[in-house]
Amino acid sequence: MEENSLAYEMLKELKSTRKCLFTIVVIEAVIIIAMFVGFLVYESQFDYETSVEQTQKVEDIDTSDVNQTIN
């Protein structure tokens, strides 16, 4: 009878240890997800501008007018 009691106590201890480890894993997962969401919220505050290059074809330039505006 004593052997069964010892085995039963060991199983109870293992069960409580597993429950504790499972709780720690869940808490760590929640912290990691919260950090990820926090990073996304932080990064979404900034507006990133994209530069667009436009080219225009200019015809019939009066060079005398160009010289006057430069001087």
The number of CA neighbours under 13 Å toward the Cβ of 18 is: 6
Name the one residue in this structure whose structure tokens are 């990064």. Answer: 43
- Rounded Cα gap, residues 24 and 26, in angstroms: 5
Residuewise pLDDT in 10s, the chain (71 residues): 566 788 888 899 999 999 999 999 999 999 999 999 999 999 988 887 777 777 777 676 655 555 555 54
pLDDT of residue 49: 79
pTM of this structure = 0.54
What are the structural domain ranges in the chain?
21-46
pLDDT score recorded for residue 65? 55
**Token pair listed for 53:** 């290059």
